[in-house]
Structure 1
Amino acid sequence: MIRKNQRFLSQLYIATDFIIVQMAFLLAWWLKFESGWIDFESPLPVEIYAFWSLVYGAVAVFIGILISLYSPKRKKRFADEVLKIIQVHFTSLVVLLSMMFFVKQIDISRDYLALFMAFNLMLIMLYRYFLKQSLKHLRKKGYNKQFVLIIGGGTLGRRFHDNLKQYPELGYEIVGFLDDHQVWSEMEAARYKPVLGAVNQLEDILQTKLIDEVVLALPLDAHARYARIIAICEKAGVRTLIIPDYFDFLPARPYFDNFAGMPMINVRDIPLDLAGNRLAKRLFDIVFSLAAIIITMPIMLFVALGVALTSRGPIIFKQERVGLNRRHFQMYKFRSMKVLPEGVEDTGWTTENDPRRTKFGAFIRKTSLDELPQFFNVLAGDMSVVGPRPERPYYVEQFKEEVPKYMVKHHVRPGITGWAQTHGLRGDTSIEERIKHDIFYIENWSILLDIKIILKTVVNGFVNRNAY
């Protein structure tokens, strides 16, 4: 039944994508030639546009099948799906234009093509998002479940059990455990699914119970048993997933490299290592920071005047910070502190009621207005709009010895705001928690995540009770 449901969903996606393409054609045609808002007539009959729309729909579906756009999506993020949709439709557009050029069909309106592509992407993303949310809701209600058997009742298996329980929208139900030695205490029996038997009973369990996926959560010293377990699962037509006993060392979304003909797990997968992703983020940073500078220029002039009138010293405060690839740069802020005597180095952590702050400085720090000059750092390429917050070299040297994985944050450009800051981790808060959030951001980066963080920063407001 599960396999049939998955095949039905894949076929539904294919059919709906094709229909959406034709709807986009009708909308683009009406807006361009029938609405009277742009043009009043087309140099080509509607049948020509309709034909190429059908061709485009077939090409888009074919390319989608090639790059697994219609594979099961239960475990996948919507952001990954969006990237594939964009990839499919821009590739399809290139194929369409090539075909039209080959048959000398060069009179198609460029405005129409732009509208057609915009409607395609918008409508497909909207319906897929709605469908994904609807399926999540149905799975929470108990529909379309998949059943999981965990092999290994030790720490690894119990941790996976607890984690999976936190995601009811995925629609997985744990049937139980197989373990040679584990026996639940009374308290554990109330918390965990039952131990159904020993590992060597796997074949009998698969024959008597409905199991869709088997998760291997065995310790490293059980490695020799994997081949037989996998063979039994494949014979029964059941998917097998392995949780490596060293998974704490792996990134949130590990991937395999091929090195000298051998598959290897990449311990630190960073999406921004890819040139295309770096270029997309950099273009986004330039456009956004330019817009932010123009929009906030009156506010920056007000703050600059306030700093100049309320205390002696420079308006802009420059401070050395550690950025991408551990390179040092000068970060700009509106000065909120009294000027230190010459020769005195500032290595103090700002605290509540810090006597070094000016009255106006306390206001602009609390409202984050002191951070506005950092948009110029973004334009210069030292920072990004979104990323881990940069720290002073003095603290970097200290934290890298005390906080595990602290230096991972320097694999990407530091940001004005970040995933940690949107979760209230700013100022005098836990460095360990900040790093956990920073690493999540680094390993899960996407343009959509950047936009989400910016929106959360705006919605949550710029006033922060931890900003002293």
Structure 2
Amino acid sequence: MLRERSLFLQRLLFGADLALIALAWVLAWVLRFEVLTPPEWVPLTPYLGFLPFVLAVWGGVLLVSGLYRTRRAQRLTLVVYAVARAVALGLVVSLGALFFYREFSFSRLHVILFALLASGLLVGLRLAIYTVLRRGRESGRNVRRVLIVGAGKAGQRLARAFRHYPWMGFEVVGFLDDREGDVEAEPPDPLYPQPVRRPHVLGPVDAIGDVLDRHADGGGGVDLVYAALPLAAVDKIQAVAEACARHTAHLCLVPDLFGLDLLVNSRISDVDGLPVIHLLDEAPFDFRQVVKRAADVVFSLTALVALSPLLALIAVAVKRSSPGPVLYRQERMSLNGQTFDILKFRSMPVDAEAGTGAVWSRKGEARATRVGSFLRRTSLDELPQFWNVLMGDMSVVGPRPERPTLIEGFRHQIPGYMLRHKTKAGITGWAQVHGWRGDTSLTKRIEYDLYYIQNWSLWLDLKIVAMTVFKGFVHENAH
């Protein structure tokens, strides 16, 4: 019954979305030809004739975007992001179709207005739905009662998320944990700034049957049981599953992985229906990755063009400073251990490492030429790496790449060192803008690199770029 009702609501929302898209298409025509530029009036008939194709395209895009999956516990911000992503994809497909449609020339302003109106209407509908749901659930209607098995970090974080988003309609009736009275409240979590509460433990894990019976007899049965237990607690998870099988409560597994020190891009996928937990992985390819790559291309191309006079002056200075090529190529390691030749303005004589081999640059060393020393202190020797970014070897923002010969030693000395290769290397990064560069602590550098990978977002990239502009070029550790 619940599944049929969910499917009905999903189909109802899909139909409402299509109606709003049709409305946005017509309203865009009204704004374009009746309000903004009436003298350039164009009949509505061609636009209405193209509307069925628009609805077919956008309907397909909305269906594959995942907007209609049942996600009671999804944040509203993620829903808005999913709508924006679907609108962007639908707009790209529509523009591609309009390019090949030669029977009529559609107004580009109309298409832009349509995209803005469609975004506003789709998001507005979901805001209205969430407002109604939130008010209803905050007043006690349509609330799901939750029992959390495991009062560790994962279980307490789950409870805090339910309290932080009351519109989701989850009420935690309590915890089950074998520690009972020894359970302490976890430290405050930056994601959920509510006051810390000590978990209300109802009993040990093996008391789940009695707890479910007691709540059922009281008229307020438990709807959902979340097993937030370590993966090693297989026997306890099996016992919880057997208890839930004797009741009507649904069971969800939330593996407590916080005991693992190293987690990078952890997520869940499936292989032919078999759930797979990714603990150490590169960031999954999604819309944000496309935006990041597009921004890298635009930024690096703009930088190379805008800085071309400066690049030419530096090239002349390097050439006159000592015999040899202007650019220096050096093998470095990036995403998933792939190597590439990084480009830098040559700052040392050609034979500077003939006797020492690959070594780290250190403050006060005399290997650099006079011009090269200046380029290093100001980080101007790194400017040719925008070409590496343009070619796809690097990103503008990411952990700084290192030489494979040095990595062989670092990987055994520094725990988690190789995890920095779970994302593409960058010209600047979170560690660099905080001064961890040159001959400084590798441990701190890896700590900052892993923070960047685990908390990556487009906004964080923009912040790092801004910090680089103001304090990232010249630094006492740049040499």
Whether TM exceeds 0.5 here: the answer is: yes
**TM-superposed deviation, 1:182:** 3.2
Give the unaligned 5+ runs of structure 1: none
Query: Relative to structure 1, is the Cα distance of residues 300 and 184 closer, same or farther in structure 2, using a 3 angstrom cutoff?
Result: same
Contact 1:257 1:266 in 2 (8 A): no
Structure 1 residues 310, 403: closer, same or farther in 2, change over 3 A?
A: same
The whole-number CA distance in structure 1 between the counterparts of 2:373 and 2:146 is 55
* Residues 1:40 and 2:35 are matched in the alignment: no
Aligned residues of 2:319 and 2:326 also touching (Cα < 8 A): yes
Q: Deviations 1:142-185 (Å, cap 9, x if unpaired)? A: 999987543124xxx23542586589754577654212343227
Q: Distance in 2 between matches of 1:466 and 1:121?
A: 51
Contact 1:69–1:85 (Cα < 8 Å) also in 2: no
After superposing the two structures, state which structure 1 stretch, 406-415 or 420-429, moved more: 420-429
Counterpart residue number, 1:456 = 463
TM-score by length of 2: 0.68
| Stretch deviating more after TM superposition (417-426 or 454-463) | 417-426
**Taking every aligned residue pair, what percent have the same amino acid on both sides?**
30
**Aligned pair partner of 1:333 in 344, 353, 372:** 344
3-state SS of 1:391 partner: coil
| 3-state SS of paired residue (2:402) | coil
| CA distance in structure 2 between the aligned counterparts of 1:58 and 1:73, rounded to whole angstroms | 27
The answer to whether the 8 A contact 2:154-2:228 is kept is no
Q: Which residue of 2 aligns with 1:115?
A: 112
Tell me the C-alpha RMSD between the 2 structures.
5.2
| Residues 400 and 427, structure 2, Cα contact 8 Å, conserved in 1 | yes
Distance 1:226 1:346, change over 3 A: same
Measure, in 1, the Cα distance between the counterparts of 2:184 and 2:236.
Answer: 30
Give the match's secondary structure for 1:196. Answer: strand
Structure-to-structure mapping, 1:64-463, within 5 angstroms: 64=62, 67-70=65-68, 71-72=70-71, 74-75=73-74, 78=77, 82=81, 85-87=84-86, 90=89, 106-107=103-104, 109=106, 111=108, 114-116=111-113, 118-119=115-116, 123=120, 149-153=147-151, 157-158=152-153, 160-161=155-156, 165=160, 169-171=164-166, 175-184=173-182, 192-199=198-205, 200=207, 201-204=210-213, 206-207=215-216, 213-220=224-231, 222-230=233-241, 233=244, 235-238=247-250, 240-243=252-255, 248=260, 251-258=264-271, 262-271=274-283, 285-304=296-315, 315-336=326-347, 341=352, 343-345=354-356, 347-351=358-362, 364-365=375-376, 367-410=378-421, 412-418=423-429, 421=432, 426-427=437-438, 428-429=440-441, 430-437=444-451, 439-440=453-454, 449=457, 451-462=458-469, 463=471
Aligned mates of 2:343, 2:263 — CA distance in 1: 35
Q: Name the CA shift for 1:300/1:214 in 2 (closer, same or farther; >3 Å).
A: farther
Deviation for aligned residue 1:396: 1.0
Which ranges of structure 2 fall in alignment gaps of 5 or more residues? Answer: 188-195
- Distance (whole Å) between structure 2 residues aligned to residue 272 and residue 162 of structure 1: 24
Aligned residue pairs, count: 441
Cα distance change, pair 294–183 in 1 and its aligned pair in 2 (3 A): same
Cα deviation, 1:388-421, whole Å, max 9, x if unaligned, reads 3211123211122233443344455422234555
